Amino acid sequence: MSTTTVATGRDLLAEFERGLDAPICLTWELTYACNLACVHCLSSSGKRDPRELDTAEAKAVIDELERLQVFYVNIGGGEPTVRSDFWELVDYAVAHKVGVKFSTNGIRLDKTAAARIAATSYVDVQISLDGATAEVNDAVRGEGSFKTALQALDNLAEAGATDFKISVVVTRHNVTQLDAFKKLADDRGAQLRLTRLRPSGRGADTWDELHLLPGQQRVLYDWLVDHSGEVLTGDSFFHLSAYGEALPGLNLCGAGRVVCLIDPIGDVYACPFAIHDEFLAGNLREAGGFTSIWRESALFSSLREPQTGGACASCNFYGSCRGGCMAAKFFTGLPLDGPDPECVKGYGEEALAALGEIDRPRPGADHSRSIPLMVLKPKNAPVPACAEDPLAGFDPNEVAVSSLSR
């Protein structure tokens, strides 16, 4: 054969585990301010932080991301659109070839906004739903919210937008509606994105009641296998690959390796689901900015070191499962080098049971308003519209030019 070195899929994963010189994409919570106060919010949003990056600072961040060739940012919050410079920043990012994806419950997605989104391929939107029917969704998100979301989807379709997403965090209560979600998306020319419920932020409190039961995990896995390539899942479900074949998508925890989070005041965390001092790499207002945090912080360097697998090392499925999600382990109080709390072999449950009633780590920054403007306190707590998968958009369609690897 030739002198050309050709990496195989596994080599590529190894490359990613060593970390890249710049993230592929990152999540950027522009503000913690929000018009809602979802009880399970991952960023414990509510009040605006007075130290928020201002417009000029936010633009400087975009300039830096452009230099690093970060392909896109997942904008979340809070409700990012409550920032008066939201569209200004979106336009600025687009002009600088940094793509923007953002999530919304659809309330502000009128025809004008839809047209704006449809006009450029650099802006991508996802509408969050918690149920595939008004009954299930509204029981959680409030009366009329299903209609609002569908209206937003219709506005997008009418404006000629393509590739917009319906985003569903899979819970104990909506896992029975997977086919219905799929149909809802198909009927509107949207793509379905399924995301894992992770015990972060205020979600840590509701995780126990909402996360999938072992039998349901199997149902989800089988459904994902049956619909391989038809739904987007990012890095959500690689822990399920221990049921058998690896699922499409990136089978690896990208925290601090290919993704990270920038919060409203410029703190940089390893992952949007890991907002805790333990995973805080630095603040981009410091000298060196984002680039030096990404490339030199002690935290990110340690995350890029070869992982031993700990208690998972002897498991046959470690190769594809990789021990699951770091944030899920951390916020349920499990060691980071052991099994995921939802380990399909049941080791996570055993480990949790062994822990007993411990104090689970609390999210680092609670921005909850002391008096929420509106408290949604349904028994099936919703997952916020602003929940942004770190690898949203980093999905099955990846095509390796592997015709080179004989």
Partner 1 sequence: MALTAVAVETFDADSPWDLHESVSVRPERFGALLYDFRTRRLTFVKDPVLQKVIDALSTSSSAREALALVKVPQEDHERYLSALARLAETSMLTPRSQGEIT
User: Which residues lie near partner 1 (CB under 8 A)?
Assistant: 2-8, 11-12, 15, 20-22, 24, 69, 71-72, 97, 99, 121-122, 124, 163, 393-395, 397-406
Residue 308 has a CB neighbour count (10 Å cut-off) of 10
- Minimum CB separation of residue 284 from ligand SF4 in Å reads 19
Q: Smaller CB distance to ligand SF4: residue 218 or 345?
A: 345
Q: Of 317, 322, 347, 345, nearest to 332 (Cα)? A: 347
259 binds ligand SF4 (CB under 6 A): yes
Look at residues 383, 331, 373, 390 and name the one whose alpha carbon lies nearest to residue 355.
Answer: 331
Assess contact for 281 and 259: CB atoms under 8 A.
Answer: no
Question: Does residue 339 touch ligand SF4 according to CB under 6 A?
Answer: yes
Residue 324 or 363: the one with the smaller Cβ distance to ligand SF4 is 324
Distance CA 84, CA 224 (A): 39
What is the nearest approach in angstroms of ligand SF4 to the Cβ of residue 96? 25
Comparing CB distances to ligand SF4, the nearer of 177 and 241 is 241
Pick between residue 177 and residue 236 the one whose CB is nearest to ligand SF4. 236
User: According to CB under 6 A, which residues from 192 to 221 bind ligand SF4?
Assistant: 198
Is 153 in contact with 188 (CB distance < 8 Å)? yes
- Taking the CA atoms of residue 292, residue 80, residue 398 and residue 273 in that order, the dihedral angle to the nearest 10 degrees is 70
Q: Pick between residue 282 and residue 339 the one whose CB is nearest to ligand SF4.
A: 339
The amino acid at residue 393 is G
- Binding segment (CB under 6 A) for ligand SF4, from list 4-12, 170-178, 337-345, 361-369: 337-345
For residue 175, give both structure tokens: 């896992």
Site map (CB under 6 A) of ligand SF4, residues 341-370, x = contact: --xxx-x-----------------------
Site string for ligand SF4, 302-331 (x = CB under 6 A): ----------x--x-xx--x-xxxxx----
- Could you tell me how far CA 195 lies from the centroid of its own chain? 7
Residue 29 engages ligand SF4 in binding (rule: CB under 6 A): no
Interface with ligand SF4 includes 42 (CB under 6 A)? no
Closest C-alpha among 136, 115, 140, 133 to residue 125: 115
390 lies in the site for ligand SF4, by CB under 6 A: yes
**Which residues ranging from 269 to 288 are in contact with ligand SF4 (CB under 6 A)?**
271, 273-274
Q: Select 81 or 332, whichever has its Cβ closest to ligand SF4.
A: 332
Distance separating alpha carbons of residues 25 and 342, to the nearest angstrom:
26
Nearest to 364 by CA among 236, 271, 252, 234: 271
- The greatest distance separating any two alpha carbons of the chain, rounded to the nearest whole angstrom, comes to 69
**What is the dihedral angle through the alpha carbons of 286, 289, 290, 293, rounded to the nearest 10 degrees?**
-60
d(CA 39, CA 404): 50
Residue 375 near which of ligand SF4, partner 1, none (CB within 5-8 Å, type-dependent): none
Nearer Cβ to partner 1, position 16 or 181?
A: 16
Kindly tell me which of 5 and 316 has the beta carbon lying closer to partner 1: 5
With CB cut-offs between 5 and 8 Å by kind, which of ligand SF4, partner 1, none does residue 359 bind? none
If the CB atoms of residues 50 and 215 are measured against ligand SF4, the closer one turns out to be 215
- In the complex, the smallest distance separating the C-beta of residue 166 from partner 1, rounded to whole angstroms, is 15
Cβ(78)–Cβ(101) under 8 Å? no
- 377-381: Cβ within 8 A, 24+ apart: 377/39, 378/139, 378/140, 379/209, 380/130, 380/139, 380/140, 380/171, 380/173, 380/210, 381/38, 381/39, 381/40, 381/140, 381/206, 381/209, 381/210
Least distance between ligand SF4 and beta carbon 254 (Å): 5
Q: Whole-number minimum distance, CB 404 to partner 1, in Å? A: 5
Lookup: tokens for 23? 């993230």
The residue ranges that bind ligand SF4 (CB under 6 A) are: 198, 235, 239, 242, 253-255, 259, 271, 273-274, 312, 315, 317-318, 321, 323-327, 339-340, 343-345, 347, 390
